[in-house]
Amino acid sequence: MPRIQKYLQKHAQNLQPAAIAYLAALDQIESFAPLIAHAIEQELSDQRSHLKLIASENYSSLTVQLAMGNLLTDKYAEGYPHHRFYAGCENVDLVEEMAQEELKQIFGAEHAYVQPHSGADANLVAFWSILVQKVQNKEIERLGKKTLDELTPEEYEQVRKLMNQQKLMGMSLNSGGHLTHGYRHNISSKMMRSVFYDVDPKTEQLDYHTLAKQALQEKPDILLAGYSAYSRRINFAKMREIADSVGAVFMVDMAHFSGLVAGKVFQDEYNPVPYAHIVTSTTHKTLRGPRGGFVLCKAEFADTINKGCPLVLGGPLPHVIAAKAIAFKEANSPNFQDYAQRIVKNANTLAEKLKSDGARIVSGGTENHLMIVDLSSFGLTGRHAESILRKAGLTVNRNTIPGDQNGPWYTSGIRLGTPAVTTLGMGTDEMNEIADIIVKVLKNAKPAIVEKTGQLSKANAEIDPKILDEAQQRVNAILAKFPLYPEIEI
């Protein structure tokens, strides 16, 4: 029997619109592509049966999810509101303007651009806008021309080379920086020269004095702050001073912590928006929206950022922008501030309990939504821990630690985050229980022996099935109290 029919029969007295829409959509998809319907259903079941501790993931609301599944996907709307390259964009204008206004209100930003499809795209829009405004446009002026199109091929080649010579300074991957902040295997290191700052080897935290000295030596054109695996707050007032001291544009990638800024946990010097020329973010991490990105900037960059398409992007995704507008409205509510505070409280509780149970947390703790656990004392790599914890019912990801000897594939750490479990409503008791389960599993896991070589495997670990079983039962007991999307019965 179709899912929707079963649901309507059972709940005739109390129909939930989101459940109806979801189940009807699954039935419709199944009639054409059963594999896809099955994969969506299985994903729901997977997310319901594992504790989601991936620091960059969350659970968006069903309203956000449903706003993405409609005919807005069929509309091209290159350009920006009221300045489009296609006819018939009035409805997309309404949607995009609402998303921009909600976003500006959340962050008190001078300008918001909501088209980037991801955080990586948002960073590319920001990088190239800075290069266009600070290098290309100045060079056009110096050459006595008015527009890019007036340059001769030789002049244009000169501008192109100049842009390639600019210098980006961001946090290194091992210290917790992101791939798009100048990593060699990412385009960010190919479009500019990139140099990195590290955390202090002793404190494993940023040392602004050292950073200021390095900036003076390197004289970057862009100073970039932000991270995907750093568990401390950043003082953006100090970072802006450093950027100003070398004439750099100050850019912040707040993809991981934008929800904490929106929820007013990060205020004053810990809020990047008043200090940075340009701020980028994803929409789906602590901010709990659909998958996507955005850029905020000072008014002086607005015109250039608005031309993210065609500079970097193709046509916008109006259906995703609709879902962003919903998520931004959600983040503008007072409930969201309570949510953001609980994320950080939960992370702190989890980290402190892990520590008291014998795990080492990089930098000694956390001030945000995430923490990196150093696995050295357990004799495990990140891959061992990631896979054995997954078997126990906890989804985490392996992560490098500062000075990691195991490289980015195996790693020596795992990253844990609390945005998703906090969305489910978990609190202190659950964090203590989760820490206990994690340490018990890690203490009892041993690297497996590779049959062919007799060597210890760097990827697979073994554990007494009784301990694993006990961990699974404890995880299931927690999950049973905090159901995901309870209105959807599958």
484: burial class by Cβ within 10 Å (0-12, 13-18, 19+)? middle
Q: Which is nearer to ligand DSN, 228 or 286 (CB)?
A: 228
Convert residues 14-33 into a mask of x (bound to ligand DSN by CB under 6 A) and - (unbound).
Answer: --------------------
Q: What is the C-alpha to C-alpha distance for residues 230 and 143, in angstroms, rounded to an integer?
A: 44
Q: Give yes or no for a contact between 418 and 340, defined as CB atoms under 8 angstroms apart.
A: no
Q: Which is nearer to ligand DSN, 56 or 172 (CB)?
A: 56
What does the DSSP assignment read for 93-117?
Answer: HHHHHHHHHHHHHHHT-SEEE---S
**Per the annotation, does 179 bind a ligand?**
yes
Q: Which is nearer to ligand DSN, 178 or 458 (CB)?
A: 178
CA distances from 228 to 23, 232, 267 (A): 35, 11, 19
Q: With the C-alpha atoms ordered 181, 184, 190, 195, is the resulting torsion angle positive or negative?
A: positive
When asked if residue 411 is in the footprint of ligand DSN (CB under 6 A), the reply is: no
Q: Which is nearer to ligand DSN, 238 or 291 (CB)?
A: 291
Q: Which is nearer to ligand DSN, 65 or 180 (CB)?
A: 180
What does the DSSP assignment read for 304-334?
Answer: HHHTHHHHT--S--HHHHHHHHHHHHHHTSH
Q: Which is nearer to ligand DSN, 61 or 228 (CB)?
A: 228
Q: Which pair of structure tokens corresponds to residue 292?
A: 């996507």
Q: Which is nearer to ligand DSN, 102 or 121 (CB)?
A: 121
Q: Which pair of structure tokens corresponds to residue 309?
A: 């398409």
141: burial class by Cβ within 10 Å (0-12, 13-18, 19+)? exposed
**Per the annotation, does 300 bind a ligand?**
yes
How far apart are CB 177 and ligand DSN at their closest, in Å?
11
Q: Which is nearer to ligand DSN, 79 or 417 (CB)?
A: 417
Q: 53: how many CB neighbours lie within 10 A of its CB?
A: 24
How far apart are CB 56 and ligand DSN at their closest, in Å?
3
**Per the annotation, does 277 bind a ligand?**
no
How far apart are CB 387 and ligand DSN at their closest, in Å?
17
Q: Which pair of structure tokens corresponds to residue 325?
A: 């507008």
Q: Which is nearer to ligand DSN, 100 or 368 (CB)?
A: 368
Q: Is the peptide bond before 310 cis (omega within 30 degrees of 0)?
A: yes
**Per the annotation, does 289 bind a ligand?**
no
Amino acid found at 290: P
Convert residues 165-204 into a mask of x (bound to ligand DSN by CB under 6 A) and - (unbound).
Answer: -------------x--------------------------
DSSP 248: P
Q: How large is the angle between the packed helices 465-481 and 428-444, nearest 10 degrees?
A: 160
279, containing H or E segment: strand 278-282
Q: Give yes or no for a contact between 269 and 238, defined as CB atoms under 8 angstroms apart.
A: yes
How far apart are CB 57 and ligand DSN at their closest, in Å?
8
Query: Pairing relation of β-strands 51-52 and 394-395?
Result: parallel
Q: What is the C-alpha to C-alpha distance for residues 427 and 347, in angstroms, rounded to an integer?
A: 10
- Binds ligand DSN (CB under 6 A): choice among 7, 23, 53, 56: 56
Q: Give yes or no for a contact between 277 and 248, defined as CB atoms under 8 angstroms apart.
A: no
Query: Pairing relation of β-strands 111-113 and 293-297?
Result: antiparallel
**Per the annotation, does 173 bind a ligand?**
yes
How far apart are CB 50 and ligand DSN at their closest, in Å?
16
Convert residues 271-310 into a mask of x (bound to ligand DSN by CB under 6 A) and - (unbound).
Answer: ----------------------------------------
How far apart are CB 397 and ligand DSN at their closest, in Å?
7
Site size for ligand DSN, by CB under 6 A? 3
Could you tell me where the beta strands, DSSP code E, fall in 192-240?
193-197, 222-226
- Binds ligand DSN (CB under 6 A): choice among 100, 123, 166, 228: 228
Binding residues: 173, 177-179, 300
Binding residues for (6S)-5,6,7,8-tetrahydrofolate: 173, 177-179, 300
Site residues for ligand DSN per CB under 6 A: 56, 178, 228
